Amino acid sequence: MNIATWLERAGLSHPDRPAIGYGTRVARSYGELSGRAGRLAGALRAQCGLSPGERVAIFAKNSPDYMEALYAIWHAGLAAVPVNAKLHGRELAYILEQSGARVCFVSKDLETAAAAHAPATLQRLITIGSREHEQLFAADRVAVAARSDDDLAWLFYTSGTTGRPKGAMLTHKVLAWASHAYLGEVDQTVAGDAVLHAAPMSHGSGMYIMPHVARLGINVIPESGAFEPDEIFELVRRWPRTSMFAAPTMIKRLTESAADCDPANIRTIIWGGAPMYVEDAVRALDRFGPRFAQIYGQGEAPMTITTLTKEDIADRNDPRWAERLGSAGRPYACVEVMVADGEGRPLPVGETGEICARGDVVMPGYWQNPDATAKALQNGWLLTGDVGAFDAQGYLTLKDRSKDVIISGGSNVYPREVEEVLLKHDRVREVSVIGRPDTEWGEIVVAYVVGDVGAEDLDRLCLDEIARFKRPKDYVFVEQLPKNNYGKILKTELREKDTRRA
């Protein structure tokens, strides 16, 4: 089934209900959004000459037009290629060429960069808000194109921190299963509930567009186009029962903000994209109350491998609460999850190995990349590259990415465990632990620290909390840590910096 059918149904049954909020005002009703998406779909088919299955890119910042373009692409039977608006033009060019996108929608302020790097394969660059763009809506509305469950809907390009980004093929079935999983296990949603897109719609936040359309919710977009706690709190006051997907760094900014916020209007804040340190989670709970859920997933299994529910996060009376707060929760009902050894065999409870997943929410492969597909999908399982362990109650704890594990003197050291300890110090704001090559130990543990604290204090803290061999051999104090566009700390870049420093 075409995922665009959900919008068509909403437009027919409840045309006057608000579909998109832009800042504090209603920008589109469901009738308007469905009608405009259908006409834009007609233009993509008739004027741009696109046939079902072809790819259309969106290189734009969050806006009502973004959602309109996304649904028009699906309505026409095409596949969307959402591209992070913060990428360099050369990075955009690679994705456009690799995906074979013939048309690209672009924000006005990104038009120059996109045009300068447009590959020969791109036939049309459409600037959102331009006269050319508006004229497309004069086309005749077409019917929603028939698509099968296994047809491509979204090419989700990885961040590419270790090489060229790969396009995870997300089918209509994958998007539908991810939406059902969200509504069933993360955030029960009813008509009129809002979701606030404070993170890029090209990635994690965009995955929550579909379930809210299915339930007649309101997709709210900040007008600033940036993540500003003051604006977020204003929008929370304006829109009832608001939910939001946020990276842990974003939640930390909200927690530390001096701006006033009444959390009563917050339905759920879902964190994902990186683990939340326990100390940060506790501070967020203290400020906003029991309104948090956690998801763990990847672009290859979008947002849907395990989830830590609001009930688990809120239950401070549970004797294992702190331990569970540090976990990634339990597998979704629609997916199998296994911790495996190097031969792909399941490991018993408590043993650490690679996290693997399979189910209808997992991608069928990478776009035009059979070698990467063969490495990622083996015997029906997605090999995530993440390291973790199950406990006796079925909760999965992430240790680290497999490439981030430090082997010192023959023993494995998981950076996150050391980072959790260092963050207990009240003068440590951020920390990232990496391995540094060493002739005697193979690798030694090195901590990069943002904060006003001395190495002696941190050493004492570590010796009180963890085994001596896990203690950092060196502390490097910095003003900030390198991060990507989503707030993830770039350990690869940190290791390169450390190598130059040595």
The model's pLDDT over 235-260, given as tens digits with 9 standing for 90+, comes to: 999 998 999 999 887 898 899 999 99
Q: How many CB atoms lie within 10 A of CB 327?
A: 25
- Confidence tier at 162 by pLDDT (50, 70, 90): very low
Specify burial of residue 138 (Cβ count, 10 A radius: 0-12, 13-18, 19+).
exposed
Predicted local distance difference test score (pLDDT) of residue 485:
61
Under 8 Å between Cβ of 355 and 339: yes
- Confidence tier at 136 by pLDDT (50, 70, 90): very high
Q: Render the burial of 454-489: b for 16+ CB within 10 Å, e for the rest.
A: eeeebeebbeeebeeebbbeebbeeeebbbeebbbb
Q: How many CA atoms lie within 13 A of 216 on its CB side?
A: 13
Residue with the bigger pLDDT between 315 and 273: it is: 315
Tell me 185's DSSP state: I
286-309 tens-digit pLDDT = 999 999 999 999 999 999 999 999
Under 8 Å between Cβ of 367 and 98: yes
Please give the Cα distance from 72 to 136 (Å, whole number): 11
> What are the residues facing 220 on neighbouring strands?
21, 196
Residues with Cβ within 8 Å of 24's Cβ and at least 6 positions away in sequence, in order, are: 234, 235, 238
Predicted local distance difference test score (pLDDT) of residue 226:
81
97-133 tens-digit pLDDT = 999 999 999 999 999 999 999 999 999 999 999 999 9
Predicted local distance difference test score (pLDDT) of residue 161:
43
Q: Edge-to-edge strand order for the sheet containing 242-246?
A: 25-29, 18-22, 218-221, 194-196, 242-246, 266-271, 292-298, 301-308, 330-331
Predicted local distance difference test score (pLDDT) of residue 491:
87
- For β-strands 474-477 and 442-451, DSSP reports them as parallel
**What stretches of 118-272 adopt beta strand conformation (E)?**
124-127, 152-157, 167-171, 194-196, 218-221, 242-246, 266-271
pLDDT at 356 > cutoff 60: yes
In the block, tokens 């036939």 appear at 123
Q: How many residues make up the chain in this entry?
A: 502
C-alpha 53, offset from chain centre: 25
Predicted local distance difference test score (pLDDT) of residue 19:
98
Under 8 Å between Cβ of 34 and 20: no
Q: How many CB atoms lie within 10 A of CB 22?
A: 17
Please give the Cα distance from 331 to 68 (Å, whole number): 33
The two tokens of residue 495 are 């290791």
The two tokens of residue 143 are 């019917």
Which residue segments constitute the domains of the chain, with CATH numbers given? 1-16+29-147 (3.40.50.980), 405-501 (3.30.300.30)
At 166 the three-state DSSP class reads coil
Predicted local distance difference test score (pLDDT) of residue 502:
65
Residue with the bigger pLDDT between 279 and 221: it is: 221
